[in-house]
Chains A and B, each alone.
Chain A
Amino acid sequence: MKYPVPTNRRGFLSAAISGLVAAIGAGLGFVALPYLFVPSRQPGQEGWTDAGELSNLEPGTPSEIAFARLRIDGWDASALKASAWLVKQPGGGITAFSPACTHLGCAYRWSRAQNEFQCPCHGSRFAIDGRVLGGPAPRPLDRYQVKLAGNRVWLGPIEPSEALRS
């Protein structure tokens, strides 16, 4: 399609009007598009939290602990209640699972009878090391980074587990 070339006064004014309107639109878009669609800078690290004593953990029995965790959300920094499933491993190490099922985020629980984690929502099941035993869960349980300081457990950010490759 051929565009009409502005040869007369009317055509020139039309083109000038379009150009000015486009310039204003570009100026506003230049500001508004990044503002709306570029995610804001997030603090890199969420820091470590003292999650409690190590001594009251039995090997082979996961124990759910609750603790306060700092959350930085935009302009807001607040202490939120958080929890983790701690497992004392035979070697002495500690694993801390995120309390959210990797399927759709429900809170799962430990079944002493079946010796496995069970999710009440859609029946996902996980072994004590976080492996998927059954149900719709796509990957093993996510884990907190763990540090031991003397007799106390420190939990860092949650690291999503890799999907198990068969």
Chain B
Amino acid sequence: MIPELLRWLEERTGIPGAVRAFFSEEIPASAGWAQAIGSVVLFLFFIQVFTGALLAFNYAPTPGEAYRSLNYILREVPGGRMVRGLHHWGSSLMIGAVVLHMIQVFLYGAYRKPREATWMVGVALLLITLGFGLTGYLLPWDNRAYWGTVVTTEIAGQAPLAGGYIRKLLGATGGVGAVTFAHFYALHTILLPIFAFLLVALHVYLVKRHGVSPAPFENRPKRKFFPEQVFRDTCAIFAVFAVLFFLAALAGAPLEGLADPTNTTYIPRPEWYFLFLFELLKFFRGTAERIGSVLLPTLAVALLFSIPFLDRSRLRPVTQSTFALAAVALSLIVGVSLTVAAVATTPHSTGPDPAEAFSTAPSALVSGARIFAANGCAACHSINGVGGSLAPSLNGVSQRHSRAWIAQHLEDPKSQTPGTIMPQFDLSAQDRDLLLSYLLSLPAK
């Protein structure tokens, strides 16, 4: 039965043969755990595509609404916190895995002829990965997202000659708003994924075409991809997935207050993998700032692209490539110290994180908030800047009115405030108590 089915499929599609050829590809006997990192990167890319698609099911891609819908995902959709956690931490792990993969390929000298194109496509994929990080950062539309992107677009505006034009293209001339948001959303979910898929396909094709790079003076016979190397790849992927799963489940993902362009106390910081660039800026003042924001990063990317053409030396074993090891060590030391310096100079944030506050709040207050949501109070009243503007904000309502006053106000609004448009709410005594406790707990803002 099964052999017949396979034969049928083979004749019609050739897929079983292609799968067999994929797994029986010959690889150098020297291939080992280091060569599994590339597979981990590919796995994380698919995780990001999958969790990103899931998020899009319940996400409204416009400023303001984006924040509300993300709150909806976190609080109302089953598994929503996990999906967002996986996407958030997946991006960080992806950056880490990409950098490790690049270091490994660099140390093994795997960019040498005929693999120059594979390396350059890889550098392009690194830039696309960073582009994903940059554009995705804005999409929660909280303060972190808003202020981080304000700084990013200001930096883009510093580019020589084209700066002002680039800022216009990003829709960020008058500050970060609806146009920038739509641009970033389209980049993050449509254009970058298309380029990423095409370049990943090209990258994998080139790896398959040239084969895994052998170690120098390798004379052991080649082995098949299956089972040893497939086992190593799967183990590495599983380990990374386990870490990702627990990060998402235990650490969650930050969601701060709704983006507030008038908030002058907010201290913007980029995502950790951009911190070294952020810190680099501090070394330059005035117009020289462009050296740190534009010139050095551009030179670094140009250097990465041209590595296969700069290094014409013979292939040496990793342990003897002193220059390559020194270059990697130096880059890591510089990158890590800049990052550590940036973290050390970041002032501690003061306010509690709303998403965390939600999960640690007493359950009575959470029930009160649900009654608030169920009765549509937010259509007119706002809390922490979220909600309608027809009626007063409810932050700090405890300083303006007593519990009894609010109770009476809910039952018969006009008796307390003649001429008010506030409708009556006939709540059960229990629901009313829960709602009152919630309202009185709201801090002044």
Taking Cβ atoms with an 8 Å cutoff, the residues of A that contact B are 9-10, 13-14, 16-17, 20-21, 23-24, 27-28, 31-32, 34-36, 38, 40-41, 43-50, 70, 72, 74-79, 149, 154
Contacts and interface: CB of A to CB of B under 8 A. Distances in A.
Given A36-B57, A48-B424, A75 B65 contact: yes
Given A21-B234, A23-B238, A31-B79, A77 B376 contact: yes
Contacts of B86: 31
Interface in B216-263: 227-228, 230-231, 234-235, 237-238, 241, 245
B79 A32 contact: yes
A74 B370 CA distance: 13
A47 B426 CA distance: 9
Given A31-B83, A48-B426, A17 B234 contact: yes
B423 A50 contact: yes
B160 interface: no
A20 B65 contact: no
Interface of A is mostly: mixed
Chain B contact residues: helix, strand, loop or mixed: helix
A104 B231 CA distance: 57
What's the interface size class on B, roughly? 35 or more
B77 interface: yes
Contacts of B423: 47-50
Given A14-B227, A17-B234, A76-B65, A35 B54 contact: yes
Contacts of B373: 43, 72, 77
Interface in B370-411: 370, 373-376, 378-379, 388
Contacts of B388: 77
A81 to B, nearest CB: 14
A17 B230 contact: yes
A79 B379 contact: yes
A20 B424 contact: no
Interface stretch (B67-75, B125-133, B170-178, B330-338): B67-75
B157 to A, nearest CB: 33
Interface in B338-394: 370, 373-376, 378-379, 388
Contacts, number: 101
B376 A40 contact: no
A45 B371 CA distance: 9
Contact of A34 (B57, B79, B235, B424): B79
Given A32-B83, A70-B379, A24 B237 contact: yes
B238 A35 contact: no
Contacts of A47: 374-376, 423, 425
A58 B216 CA distance: 98
A74 B379 contact: no
A75 B60 contact: yes
A13 to B, nearest CB: 4
